[in-house]
């Protein structure tokens, strides 16, 4: 059977564009393979290379791309595995190997930016391997997860609120926003125009929040207490009549919706809570490794 030249199979412009997008996902074909024996002088290169080895899916000059490398590259893309996808990925691996060989031929490996990138990659891989061995987070038990759920539920109030917010840096701008709101200007439009707070690009929209009332210090779901107090005083659709100053920022709140607090069942959120607790445990264990290393380190800072 006659094979189409490689150049024909990878000439599609979309494929070449995909090479750039997938460059960080597709492993270089040469990484796990050494070049095959150099062809003898009296034989053409393709004849000297012979048939592909049992695990080979392609040979680029004297480098074999293996089935394992193709499988790994397909898995890294995290999309449905199809024959068409495999053909496309194989061509990308071939093209990347061609690029590598061309760069190596012109000694790009000695260029300063390449040397620096290799060193950075080595440092990152070495550090990651060290942390995997040294960081031992405490296991998260079912009891830990249930206790976290109960603690969250205990902080919730009778009602929950869906707020929007506009946060600006000075009192004059805050007054300008309030004046325009009184004239009927859309809150979301003003948030996009003026706000430097959360959700500004979405018109100031924020997530549902609930507080036990009266508001108690330390029980405000990480909201500044004055903001929490101002929010629970507003009716549905209500807007702050005066800005609430928090540090250097001036906040204007609106209650988009208000409803009785909806508490999710434990089974619905236990997996998410477990992941949160595992992340906290990982950060704590990592911090402890840093502390232990610093005990025997000499560190100078300006």
Q: What structural domains does the chain harbor?
A: 6-105 (no CATH), 157-260 (3.10.50.40)
Report yes or no: 252 and 240 within 8 Å, Cβ to Cβ.
yes
| pLDDT reading at 123 higher than 80 | yes
Q: What is the pLDDT of residue 35?
A: 53
Q: What is the pLDDT of residue 2?
A: 44
- Higher pLDDT pick, 138 / 25: 138
Helix (H, G, I), strand (E, B) or coil at 238: coil
Give mean pLDDT, residues 129-137. Answer: 96
Gap between the Cα atoms of 243 and 252, Å rounded: 5
Q: What is the pLDDT of residue 49?
A: 52
Q: What is the pLDDT of residue 26?
A: 53
Q: What is the pLDDT of residue 216?
A: 87
pLDDT in tens, 196-252: 999 999 999 999 999 999 998 888 988 999 999 999 999 999 999 999 999 999 999
| pLDDT reading at 38 higher than 50 | no
Distance from the Cα of residue 208 to its chain's centroid: 23
Q: What is the pLDDT of residue 12?
A: 42
Q: How does the average pLDDT of the chain come out, rounded?
A: 87
Gap between the Cα atoms of 206 and 238, Å rounded: 15
pLDDT in tens, 142-155: 999 999 999 999 98
**CB-facing half-sphere around the CA of 189: CA atoms within 13 A:** 6
Residues 6+ apart with CB under 8 A from 261: 156, 157, 158, 159, 160, 210
Q: What is the pLDDT of residue 81?
A: 96
pLDDT in tens, 52-92: 999 999 999 999 999 999 999 999 999 999 999 999 999 99
Q: Of 247, 207, 213, which Cα lies nearest the Cα of 230?
A: 213
Report yes or no: 231 and 253 within 8 Å, Cβ to Cβ.
yes
Report yes or no: 181 and 175 within 8 Å, Cβ to Cβ.
no
Helix (H, G, I), strand (E, B) or coil at 208: coil
Rg (CA), the chain: 30
- Cα–Cα distances (Å) from 190 to 40, 169, 178, 264, in that order, read 75, 14, 10, 33
């Amino acid at each position: 059977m006659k094979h189409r030249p490689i150049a024909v199979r990878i000439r599609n412009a979309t494929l070449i564009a995909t090479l750039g997008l997938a460059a960080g996902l597709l492993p270089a074909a040469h990484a796990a393979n050494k070049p095959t024996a150099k062809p003898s002088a009296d034989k053409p290169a393709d004849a000297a290379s012979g048939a592909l080895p049992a695990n080979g899916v392609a040979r680029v000059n004297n480098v074999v791309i293996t089935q394992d490398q193709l499988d790994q590259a397909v898995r890294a893309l995290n999309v449905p595995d199809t024959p068409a996808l495999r053909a496309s990925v194989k061509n990308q691996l071939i093209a990347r190997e061609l690029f590598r060989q061309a760069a190596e031929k012109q000694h790009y490996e000695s260029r300063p930016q390449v040397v620096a990138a290799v060193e950075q990659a080595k440092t990152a891989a070495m550090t990651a391997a060290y942390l995997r061995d040294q960081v031992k987070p405490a296991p998260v038990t079912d009891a830990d997860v249930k206790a976290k759920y109960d603690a969250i539920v205990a902080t919730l109030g009778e009602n929950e609120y869906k707020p929007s917010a506009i946060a600006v840096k000075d009192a004059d701008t805050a007054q300008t926003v309030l004046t325009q709101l009184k004239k009927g200007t859309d809150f979301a439009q003003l948030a996009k125009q003026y706000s430097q707070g959360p959700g500004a690009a979405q018109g100031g929209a924020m997530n549902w929040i609930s507080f036990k009332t009266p508001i108690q210090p330390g029980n405000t779901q990480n909201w500044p207490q004055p903001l929490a107090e101002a929010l629970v005083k507003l009716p549905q659709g209500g807007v702050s009549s005066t800005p609430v100053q928090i540090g250097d920022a001036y906040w204007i709140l609106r209650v988009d919706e208000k409803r009785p607090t909806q508490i999710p069942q434990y089974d619905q959120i236990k997996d998410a809570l477990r992941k949160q607790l595992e992340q906290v445990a990982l950060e704590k264990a990592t911090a402890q490794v840093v502390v232990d290393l610093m005990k025997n380190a000499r560190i100078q800072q300006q």
